[in-house]
Amino acid sequence: MLAEVGQLLATYGDRVHVTHYDFDTPEGAAFAKKKGLSGHIPLVIFVNGKDTFTLNERKVTFESFPQGQGTGMVPDGAWTVADLDAVVKQMTAK
């Protein structure tokens, strides 16, 4: 899943900057605390500091795995990689 997101973001070249945090490290734990994240969240994607957006009048939060890519222990989120692409496209078009 991370590879799929990475491939998508790579298509934007130098128009995006990607930073990864592992919440099991001191840096990742500090980032999670700063963002108000708690509990087991396998993945959160922030775009320009936000993880929630409105796309076609529906609220999309880039948290947990995309639809159809959850695991038995972690459910799918309510977003798709196409949703992420749409948000990044909007943000980089400005």
Q: What pLDDT score was predicted for residue 15?
A: 92
Q: Quick one: pLDDT at residue 40?
A: 79
pLDDT of residue 64: 83
In Å, what is the CA distance from 70 to each residue of 9, 64, 77, 86, 93? 20, 8, 8, 21, 30
Upper half-sphere CA count for residue 21 (Cβ side, 13 Å): 18
Q: Helix, strand or coil for residue 75?
A: coil
**pLDDT tens track, the chain, 94 positions:** 778 898 999 999 999 988 889 888 999 999 999 999 988 788 899 999 999 999 999 999 998 877 666 556 555 677 899 999 999 999 998 6
